Amino acid sequence: MKGIIGKKVGMTSIFEANGKQTACTIIEAGPCVVTQVKTEANDGYNALQIAFGDKKEKNSTKAMLTHFAKAGVSAKSVVKEMRNCDLQKSLGDTITVDIFSEGDMVSVIGTTKGKGFQGVVRRHGFSGVGEASHGQHDRQRAPGSIGGSSYPSRVFKGMRMAGQMGGDRVKVKALKVLKIFPDKNYVLVSGSVPGHNGSIVLIQK
C-alpha cells in the first residue's frame, strides 16, 4: 500500500478522449514529509508516519516540535500513519503526487459533512405520511411505530430513528485517477469524495 495526505479543493468536470464528460474532484495532494519510520524490530510493525500542511510553532506542543525537528522539518498540521507501506522512504524524505499515475484506481478516506441532529426523513429517506388531509395533524415527517408493546416490549438495536447525521469517517473505493498536475500538486479523481472543500483526505492505492 502507498498513500498521501491531501486537501479537497473542489469539484469540476473534464472531457475524455471519446467526448464523455466525467465529474471529478480536485485534491491538492502533498507534498508530505516522512516524520517517522517504524520497523518490526523497534515498534512491532512496519509503518510510515507522514505529515502535511504547515502550522505555527506556537500552536504545537514541545513534544511535537522535537518530533518534527528529528526529521528536519517545521511544524506540521496533519500527521497520519500508513501501515505496511510499499514506499521505500527514509526520515525527512518527501512524498509527492508522482507516486500515482493516470489510470490508477485509488481509495479516498475523509470525514463527511456534519448535518447536526436530523429527522428520519432526511437522515434515512423516510417518506412520511404523505398527505395532510383526512384528519392528519402534525405527523407528516414522523417516524411512525418503533416497536411492539407486549412483544418485544423494547426497541430493537439499530432501529432507524432521528439522530446525529454526518461527521463520519468514510472510505470511497475504486476512484480513477484522471489527471495529475505535478507542478501544482493536484490530482483529479473521478466522482466525489467525502468532506467539504478544504477538508483533509487520505489517498491510498
The full set of domains in the chain, from first to last, is: 3-114+169-204 (2.40.30.10), 115-165 (no CATH)
pLDDT of residue 165: 96
Q: What is the pLDDT of residues 28-83, one digit of tens each?
A: 997 999 998 988 888 888 889 999 989 899 999 999 999 999 888 899 999 999 88
Alpha carbon distance 91, 34 (integer Å): 5
Q: Which residue has the cell 471529478?
A: 24
Give this prediction's pTM.
Answer: 0.83
In sequence order, what are the residues at sequence separation of 6 or more whose Cβ sits closer than 8 angstroms to the Cβ of residue 59?
A: 75
Grid cell digits, residue 64: 511535537
> CB–CB of 7/32 below 8 Å?
no
pLDDT of residue 122: 95
Q: What is the pLDDT of residues 108-166, one digit of tens each?
A: 999 999 999 999 999 999 988 777 777 777 788 889 889 888 988 999 999 999 999 99
